[in-house]
Amino acid sequence: MTVATENSYLKGAKGRNTRGLLRLVILCTIAAAAVSSRLFSVIRFESIIHEFDPWFNFRATKYLVANGFYDFWDWFDDRTWHPLGRVTGGTLYPGLMVTSGAIYHALRALTLPVDIRNICVLLAPGFSGLTAFATYLFTNEMSTTPSAGLLAAIFMGIAPGYISRSVAGSYDNEAIAIFLLVFTFYLWIKAIKLGSAFWGALCALFYGYMVSAWGGYVFITNLIPLHVFVLVCMGRFSSRVYVSYCTWYALGTLASMQIPFVGFLPIRSSEHMSALGVFGLLQLIGFVEFVRSGVPSKQFQTLLRGFVFLVFSVAFGGLVLLTVSGVIAPWTGRFYSLWDTGYAKIHIPIIASVSEHQPTAWPAFFFDLNLLIWLFPAGVYLCFLKLSDEQVFVVVYSILASYFSGVMVRLMLTLTPIVCVTAAMVLSTILETYLSMKSPRSDAESVAAEAAAGKKNAASKGGLRSMRNPLVGIYTVVSKSTVVGAMTLYLLVFVLHCTWVTSNAYSSPSVVLASKLPDGSQHIIDDYREAYQWLRQNTKEDAKIMSWWDYGYQIGGMADRPTLVDNNTWNNTHIATVGKAMSSSEEVSYPIMRQHEVDYVLVVFGGLLGYSGDDINKFLWMVRIAEGIWPEEVKERDFFTPRGEYKVDHDATDTMKNSLMYKMSYYNYNGLFPPGQAQDRVRGAKLPDVGPVLNSIEEAYTSENWIIRIYKVKDLDNVGREHGAAASFERGNKKKKAAKKRGAKVLRVE
**Contact residues: other proteins, CB under 8 A:** 194-198, 200-201, 204-205, 238-240, 242-243, 246-247, 249-251, 253-255, 257-258, 264, 267, 280, 283-284, 286-287, 291, 293-295, 297, 299-300, 302-303, 305-307, 309-310
Residue 267 or 620: the one with the smaller Cβ distance to other proteins is 267
Residue 198 or 403: the one with the smaller Cβ distance to other proteins is 198
- How far, in Å, CA of 108 to CA of 547, rounded? 38
Residue 313 or 641: the one with the smaller Cβ distance to other proteins is 313
CB of 192 to other proteins, least distance (A): 12
Residue 199 or 548: the one with the smaller Cβ distance to other proteins is 199
Rg (CA), the chain: 32
CB of 284 to other proteins, least distance (A): 7
CB of 242 to other proteins, least distance (A): 7
> How far are the Cα atoms of 576, 587, 680, 709 from residue 584, in angstroms, in the given order?
12, 8, 22, 18
What's 696's DSSP letter? S
Phi, psi of 516 (to 5 degrees): -100, 135
- How far, in Å, CA of 354 to CA of 125, rounded? 25
- What amino acid is encoded at 707 in this protein? I
- How far, in Å, CA of 253 to CA of 271, rounded? 13
Residue 267 or 685: the one with the smaller Cβ distance to other proteins is 267
Return the SS3 of 500. Answer: helix
CB of 198 to other proteins, least distance (A): 4
CB of 292 to other proteins, least distance (A): 11
- What amino acid is encoded at 392 in this protein? V
CA angle 521, 526, 531 (to 5 degrees): 165
Write out the H or E segment, with its range, that includes residue 524. Answer: strand 522-525
CB of 302 to other proteins, least distance (A): 5
- How far, in Å, CA of 58 to CA of 175, rounded? 13
- How far, in Å, CA of 33 to CA of 499, rounded? 10
Residue 56 or 249: the one with the smaller Cβ distance to other proteins is 249
Residue 261 or 534: the one with the smaller Cβ distance to other proteins is 261
Residue 267 or 351: the one with the smaller Cβ distance to other proteins is 267
Residue 90 or 286: the one with the smaller Cβ distance to other proteins is 286
Instruction: Judge contact between 414 and 401, C-beta under 8 A.
Output: yes
DSSP H helices, 371-462, are: 372-385, 389-407, 412-435, 447-451, 455-461
Environment class of residue 446 by beta-carbon count within 10 Å: exposed (0-12), middle (13-18) or buried (19+)? exposed
Residue 211 or 648: the one with the smaller Cβ distance to other proteins is 211
CB of 280 to other proteins, least distance (A): 7
CB of 250 to other proteins, least distance (A): 4
Instruction: Judge contact between 211 and 164, C-beta under 8 A.
Output: no
Instruction: Judge contact between 496 and 510, C-beta under 8 A.
Output: no
CB of 533 to other proteins, least distance (A): 43
CB of 667 to other proteins, least distance (A): 54
Give per-residue burial for 377-400: e unless 16+ CB within 10 Å, then b: ebbbebbeeeeebbbbbbbbbbeb
CA angle 258, 263, 264 (to 5 degrees): 120
Residue 198 or 673: the one with the smaller Cβ distance to other proteins is 198
User: Other C-beta atoms within 10 Å of 679: how many?
Assistant: 15
CB of 392 to other proteins, least distance (A): 17
- How far, in Å, CA of 207 to CA of 338, rounded? 23
Instruction: Judge contact between 213 and 173, C-beta under 8 A.
Output: yes
DSSP H helices, 599-649, are: 615-629
CB of 711 to other proteins, least distance (A): 48
Instruction: Judge contact between 93 and 61, C-beta under 8 A.
Output: no
Residue 246 or 601: the one with the smaller Cβ distance to other proteins is 246
Instruction: Judge contact between 527 and 704, C-beta under 8 A.
Output: yes
CB of 272 to other proteins, least distance (A): 13
- How far, in Å, CA of 552 to CA of 81, rounded? 9
Instruction: Judge contact between 371 and 492, C-beta under 8 A.
Output: no
- How far, in Å, CA of 320 to CA of 109, rounded? 53
Residue 293 or 355: the one with the smaller Cβ distance to other proteins is 293
CB of 317 to other proteins, least distance (A): 16
CB of 203 to other proteins, least distance (A): 11
Residue 225 or 406: the one with the smaller Cβ distance to other proteins is 225
CA–chain centroid gap for 68, Å, is 28
- How far, in Å, CA of 389 to CA of 401, rounded? 18
Phi, psi of 344 (to 5 degrees): -65, -40
Residue 105 or 305: the one with the smaller Cβ distance to other proteins is 305
